[in-house]
Amino acid sequence: MKLILLGPPGAGKGTQAKMLTERFRIPQISTGDILRGAVKEGTPMGVKAKSYMDAGGLVPDEVVVGIVRERLQKDDCATGFILDGFPRTVGQADALKGTLQDLDKDLDAVLALEVDAEALVERLTGRRTCRECGQGFHVKFDPPAEEGKCDSCGGDLIQRDDDQESTIRKRLQVYDEQTAPLIAYYGEGGLLTCIDGMQEIGSVQEKLLSALQAS
């Protein structure tokens, strides 16, 4: 099962991807994780990426695609994979298409989670993290027993900088501008299924599985 999971920040991609990986026993490939892994391992593309990162610049598409290519050739991807957070642009999607052709791999499906923007802002700005142990809470959906205090260690709960409303809205704007066009891109290729991500986690998973069975 070779999949791409699309959706804006806070749509629940990570949660759904984890459930799918456990069901199908295939790896979840997050570009952030594999980028850090390639740099740590000192792979050829990891060395290139590090040079850009050390200079404070963005890692160019060709290097990101190269790192994805390195990851897809590992043994645990032989039976499939879930790409989470990649591709981010149509240009990356074109490059990925060529890479998969070179590796003789075909995508089975592209699943897109759709969530209302204001709901995403509420989800993300409500997140709180323990300063001491890192446990996560949500002021509305998973509040601590004592406001502002961690249930586990009693540490102070903080709102991370990337969960500030201004930051969230900027991330959503970037998604709309760069990544949302992938919906049309994969829709034209007949691979896309859009899923209502506003449902309960279990219901979203059921919809994803139904879409995979139909693909």
Find the catalytic residue in 13, 48, 71, 123.
13
For the question of residue 171 being annotated catalytic, the response is yes
Question: For tokens 């709309």, what's the residue?
Answer: 176
Is position 127 annotated as part of the catalytic site? Answer: yes
14 touches 92 (CB < 8 A): no
Catalytic residue of the set 2, 36, 50, 88: 88
**Nearest CA to 67 among 76, 59, 77?**
59
Judge contact between 68 and 105, C-beta under 8 A: no
H/E element, 45: helix 44-54
Catalytic residue among 123, 127, 128, 207: 127
88 is catalytic: yes
Give dist(CA 171, CA 60) in Å, integer. 19
What long-range pairs does 52-57 form, CB within 8 A, spacing at least 24?
Answer: none
Interhelix angle for 31-41 vs 44-54, to 10°? 100
Give the three-class secondary structure for 33: helix
Active site residues: 13, 88, 127, 160, 171
